[in-house]
Amino acid sequence: MANKGLLLVLSGPSGVGKGTVKSAIVKNKVFPFEYSVSMTTRKPRPGEVNGKDYYFVTEKRFKEAINQGELLEYNRYVKHYYGTPVAPVKKMLDAGNDVLLEIDVNGARKVRGKMPDGVFIFLTPPDLHTLHLRLEHRRTESEDVIMGRIRQARKEILVMQDYDYAVVNDTVANAVDHIKAIVDAEHVSVKRVIDNYRKMVRED
Ligand SMILES: Nc1ncnc2c1ncn2[C@@H]1O[C@H](COP(=O)(O)OP(=O)(O)OP(=O)(O)O)[C@@H](O)[C@H]1O
Ligand SMILES: Nc1nc2c(ncn2[C@@H]2O[C@H](COP(=O)(O)O)[C@@H](O)[C@H]2O)c(=O)[nH]1
């Protein structure tokens, strides 16, 4: 059986650039990974595709997913629910693929509790003013929602200490380079090599 893939949890405040950095990694083929598509009750933004960016569902369906134990974690974030379907994540990891979760800090804390072997990366803005500007320039939320997200960001930045790595997204190229270095190092961490060795011996 294949060695298990790495669970990569990329978290950080809304607007810091998680999606942009993830897309740059994919576009430039920096390293291979499978993306965990989240479920949400928010409405799709222009250009977002159901099943690719998110599974866009009703609140009724989301609550059913919670009750059926379909989610690894979920959170209510500024008026909407977001959650990670557990089955595809486990399947992709078991197949030996690295899996990337792009989730908020509350969700990341819950994943840490369930899957402590994950690699937890906090993407941070150079400063809060820059974060505010990025959310404004993105033009996907009203000023009201942006203010809610900035208020949330002030709290979120304080939990950076619970992460394994902090990466400043000053430029996308820098952030991508740092994340690549982290993933490369994690692949050869002694803990991971020993875990895989033990698995190999058990299967022998
Ligand atoms: N390094 C950067 N320099 C300048 N602008 C950036 C940088 N990274 C991202 N941006 C811009 O900031 C905005 C927010 O980025 P993005 O949507 O990727 O954030 P996010 O963290 O995924 O947000 P959310 O959590 O709300 O989905 C986008 O308009 C993006 O183009
Ligand atoms: N706890 C979770 N948070 C998630 C998940 N998917 C996305 N997110 C985070 O929600 C906010 C808002 O996202 P947006 O797409 O509306 O801008 C952002 O911080 C995302 O990272 C999830 O499955 N679980």
| 55 sits in which H/E element | strand 54-56
Which structural domain, as residue segments, surrounds residue 195?
Answer: 1-33+98-204
Q: Could you report the predicted ipTM of this complex, rounded to two decimals? A: 0.97
Q: Are 40 and 59 in contact (CB under 8 A)?
A: no
pLDDT at 140 over 70: yes
Work out the pLDDT band at 76, boundaries 50, 70, 90.
very high
Q: Across residues 117-134, what is the average pLDDT?
A: 96
Looking at the fold, whether 83 and 139 belong to one and the same domain comes out as no
172 touches ligand 1 (CB under 6 Å): yes
Determine whether the annotation assigns residue 83 to a binding site: no
pLDDT of residue 78: 82
Determine whether the annotation assigns residue 15 to a binding site: yes
Q: Are 132 and 141 in contact (CB under 8 A)?
A: no
Q: Across residues 98-126, what is the average pLDDT?
A: 96
Domain endpoint, select from 97, 116, 147: 97
Q: Which mutation among 36, 62, 66, 82 tests ligand 2's pocket best, with the greatest number of atoms within 8 A of CB?
A: 82
pLDDT tens across 10-67, in order? 999 999 999 999 999 999 999 999 999 999 999 999 999 999 999 999 999 999 999 9
Q: What's the 137 CA to ligand 2 centre distance in angstroms?
A: 19
Work out the pLDDT band at 203, boundaries 50, 70, 90.
confident
Mean pLDDT score across all residues of the chain: 95
At residue 122, what are phi and psi to the nearest 5 degrees? Answer: -100, 120
Looking at the fold, whether 22 and 116 belong to one and the same domain comes out as yes
Count structural domains, the chain: 2
Q: What is the DSSP string of 138-194?
A: HT-S-HHHHHHHHHHHHHHGGGGGGSSEEEE-SSHHHHHHHHHHHHHHHHT-HHHHH
Domain endpoint, select from 82, 97, 112: 97
CATH code of the domain covering residue 203: 3.40.50.300
Nearest 10 degrees: Cα torsion 71, 68, 114, 200: -90
Work out the pLDDT band at 198, boundaries 50, 70, 90.
confident
Q: What's the 201 CA to ligand 1 centre distance in angstroms?
A: 44
Q: Across residues 194-198, what is the average pLDDT?
A: 85
SS3 30: coil
CATH code of the domain covering residue 69: 3.30.63.10
Tokens at 182, concatenated: 């982290």
Work out the pLDDT band at 123, boundaries 50, 70, 90.
very high
Looking at the fold, whether 16 and 28 belong to one and the same domain comes out as yes
CA distance 170 to 182: 17
pLDDT at 1 over 80: no
pTM: 0.95
